[in-house]
Amino acid sequence: MSIVELLGSKVQGKEGEVAVESFCGEGKYVGLYFSAHWCPPCRGFTPVLADFYKNMNSKKAGMLEIVFISSDRDQKSFDDYFAEMPWKALSFSDRERKASLSEHFEIDGIPTFVLLNAKDGSIIIPDANENVMEDTSGEKFPWK
């Protein structure tokens, strides 16, 4: 399933909607970050992932995009948490797609960082949290 089929044609960026196709293609990767503001382990992992993302984009600009998939309980919690993140997000209002993604990737706990090939949507690593923790600079990315 392609990234556009998974996420829809647009996701939420800091300045408005962003076309999903803009970060798909050969040699690129998409991380889906399943997380929530209310989750203490998520609140601990998010700053580490943010540093990793910034490191990756300073070295290999455009190679990795991350999309936050929220398990927050309300729009305000989502907004507050997303404000701390340097990447994109699935719109909080798209609960049906969030549920579908959670089922598709068999998410049974958060935080979970799923790494996908941006060209075809194939799974590279179903739970890359440990990879991020062990390689915060991204030297070994994409960890294949």
Distance CA 144, CA 54 (A): 21
Report angle CA 144, 34, 136 to the nearest 5 degrees.
Answer: 45
Local structure of 18: helix, strand or coil: strand
Q: Compute how many other C-beta atoms are within 10 angstroms of the C-beta atom of residue 41.
A: 13
pLDDT at residue 144 is higher than 90 = no
pTM over cut 0.85: yes
Q: Which residue has the tokens 């293609």?
A: 25
Structure confidence at residue 60 (pLDDT): 81
Mean pLDDT over 110-118 rounds to 97
What digits encode the pLDDT tens for the residues 7-66?
A: 999 999 999 999 999 999 899 999 999 999 999 999 999 999 999 999 998 888 889 999
Structure confidence at residue 62 (pLDDT): 83
What digits encode the pLDDT tens for the residues 83-98?
A: 999 999 999 999 999 9
Local structure of 20: helix, strand or coil: helix
